Amino acid sequence: MPSFVMPASRKPDSTPAPAAVTAVGLRKSYGDRTVLDGIDLRIPAGSVFALLGPNGAGKTTTVKILSTLVGADGGHAQVGGHDLVTSPDGVRAAIGVTGQFSAVDGLITGEENMLLMADLHHLPRGEGRRVAAELLARFDLAEVARKPASGYSGGMKRRLDLAMTLVGNPRIIFLDEPTTGLDPRSRHTMWGIVRELVAQGVTVLLTTQYLDEADELADRIAVLDGGRIVAEGTAEELKRLVPGGHVRLRFTDPAAHRAAAAALADAERDDAALTLRIPGDGSQRTLRAILDRLDAAGVEADELTVRTPDLDDVFFALTGGPTPPHRTQEVVR
Ligand SMILES: Nc1ncnc2c1ncn2[C@@H]1O[C@H](COP(=O)(O)OP(=O)(O)OP(=O)(O)O)[C@@H](O)[C@H]1O
Ligand SMILES: [Mg+2]
């Protein structure tokens, strides 16, 4: 599998943000199975970085290593300026981790879960109550705060999980699949919370299997597959790695279809569907060129569709899954 690494895109003359997380050559094996095969990461402070990959890619393993929950077999990493090996306590003090599987204790109430976290962070009792109440309100959990967490919905548990992570006011947060299993409304709520955190200068490393989530939230995305980073860049940079953009024209009159095909020699022609497919990026310039050529030939298409590649294309192209059916992004009639 080829590896594509894009240069960091930044404004000219701006100094790069200091790194909140750096990792070089992280390796991990379980028995004779290599789970991480040399992972390099650099996450600028105050940004959102998404680790995108299919089941078993090594996302959780990466998060566990960076949060000192398991040791790496090779490579080194710094989190919040602290080395994982020589200063694990420094790393733990700098981070908050919301694991893939809920840390919420269902037998006690949401408020009690929060107070337990406040105790773990050695907050004085009054301060702990204040922080707990503030976070429960911010995450829209104040009304259910005194009810056992076992009765919460998945989305409520996920919000409580994140609220518990924020008790220690961490500057770096690891979110392992924060929205898996949430309905669209709860996902958007979670995205809003992440954006708010980032606006306050918090650095977020999130893992996800959802392409739209990485696209929505992340400044940079690394695609992880089989324990290797197979591509890294902004969502736009990754989309440029895969072909697939085209303009599709549909006709109802076979004569118009024939005339258009003659005018657009680079088009792929489907005589049964009466369509033409012209490879291109769907920019205003390509569209104008196509329309000018149709005008010059005196034909008009009945429908014009623009399809740009999206992160699904990137995911399927780079992680070795089957190619998805073509979807329509944008339709102009
Ligand atoms: N404690 C362990 N012992 C043995 N194998 C493990 C252990 N933890 C993880 N693995 C293996 O390492 C590989 C990567 O697992 P990991 O949990 O990091 O994947 P992931 O990308 O988080 O997947 P998912 O999307 O399913 O959460 C898998 O093949 C998994 O079976
Ligand atoms: Mg996982």
Q: What is the pLDDT of residues 281-313, one digit of tens each?
A: 778 888 999 999 999 999 999 999 988 777 777
More confident residue, 21 or 190: 21
Ligand 1 centroid from CA 59, angstroms? 8
The mean pLDDT value for 152-157 works out to 90
φ and ψ of 185, to 5 deg? -65, -45
In this model, does residue 182 exceed pLDDT 70? yes
CB 59 less than 6 A from any atom of ligand 1: yes
Ligand 2 centroid from CA 28, angstroms? 15
Ligand 2 centroid from CA 100, angstroms? 6
CB 180 less than 6 A from any atom of ligand 1: no
Tell me what pLDDT residue 14 has. 60
Could you report the per-residue pLDDT of 60-75, keeping only the tens digit for each? 999 999 999 999 999 9
Can you tell me which atom of ligand 1 is nearest the CA of 58?
18
CA distance 116 to 146: 14
Confidence of residue 85 (pLDDT cuts 50, 70, 90): very high
Tell me what pLDDT residue 92 has. 93
User: Can you read off the two tokens belonging to residue 21?
Assistant: 């997380």
Nearest CA to ligand 1 atom 3: 30
CB 100 less than 6 A from any atom of ligand 1: yes
The mean pLDDT value for 20-26 works out to 97
User: Can you read off the two tokens belonging to residue 115?
Assistant: 């107070």
Tell me what pLDDT residue 6 has. 43
The mean pLDDT value for 219-223 works out to 95
Tell me what pLDDT residue 99 has. 86
CA distance 156 to 79: 29
Return mean pLDDT, the chain: 87
In this model, does residue 100 exceed pLDDT 60? yes
Can you tell me which atom of ligand 1 is nearest the CA of 177?
27
φ and ψ of 30, to 5 deg? -115, 115
Can you tell me which atom of ligand 1 is nearest the CA of 36?
14
Tell me what pLDDT residue 1 has. 40
CA distance 39 to 222: 10
Could you report the per-residue pLDDT of 163-180, keeping only the tens digit for each? 999 999 999 999 999 988
DSSP secondary structure letters along 290-302: HHHHHHHHT---S
In this model, does residue 54 exceed pLDDT 90? no
Across 72-76, 154-158, 190-194, which has the greatest mean pLDDT? 72-76
CB 101 less than 6 A from any atom of ligand 1: no
CB 319 less than 6 A from any atom of ligand 1: no
Confidence of residue 315 (pLDDT cuts 50, 70, 90): confident
- Please, are residues 289 and 255 in contact by the beta-carbon 8 Å criterion? no
Residues in the chain: 333
Ligand 1 centroid from CA 70, angstroms? 12
User: Can you read off the two tokens belonging to residue 262?
Assistant: 């003659």
In this model, does residue 8 exceed pLDDT 70? no
CA distance 52 to 176: 11
Ligand 1 centroid from CA 234, angstroms? 26
Tell me what pLDDT residue 327 has. 37
The mean pLDDT value for 193-222 works out to 92
Of 28, 32, 35, 70, the one to substitute when testing ligand 1's pocket (max ligand atoms within 8 A of C-beta) is 35
Ligand 2 centroid from CA 56, angstroms? 7
DSSP secondary structure letters along 260-316: HHHH-TT-EEETTTTEEEEES---HHHHHHHHHHHHHHT---SEEEEE---HHHHHH
CA distance 91 to 172: 10
Tell me how far apart the terminal alpha carbons of the chain are, to the nearest angstrom. Answer: 40
Confidence of residue 26 (pLDDT cuts 50, 70, 90): very high
Angle between helices 284-297 and 254-263 (to 10 degrees): 120
Confidence of residue 321 (pLDDT cuts 50, 70, 90): low
The mean pLDDT value for 113-141 works out to 94
Query: Which strand (E) or helix (H) includes residue 246?
Result: strand 246-250
pTM (predicted TM-score): 0.79
CA distance 136 to 303: 51
In this model, does residue 130 exceed pLDDT 50? yes
CB 274 less than 6 A from any atom of ligand 1: no
In this model, does residue 5 exceed pLDDT 50? no
CB 57 less than 6 A from any atom of ligand 1: yes
Please count the other Cβ atoms lying within 10 Å of the Cβ belonging to residue 203.
Answer: 26
CB 61 less than 6 A from any atom of ligand 1: yes
Nearest CA to ligand 1 atom 31: 56
Confidence of residue 89 (pLDDT cuts 50, 70, 90): very high
Ligand 2 centroid from CA 176, angstroms? 7
Confidence of residue 27 (pLDDT cuts 50, 70, 90): very high
In this model, does residue 32 exceed pLDDT 50? yes
In this model, does residue 330 exceed pLDDT 80? no
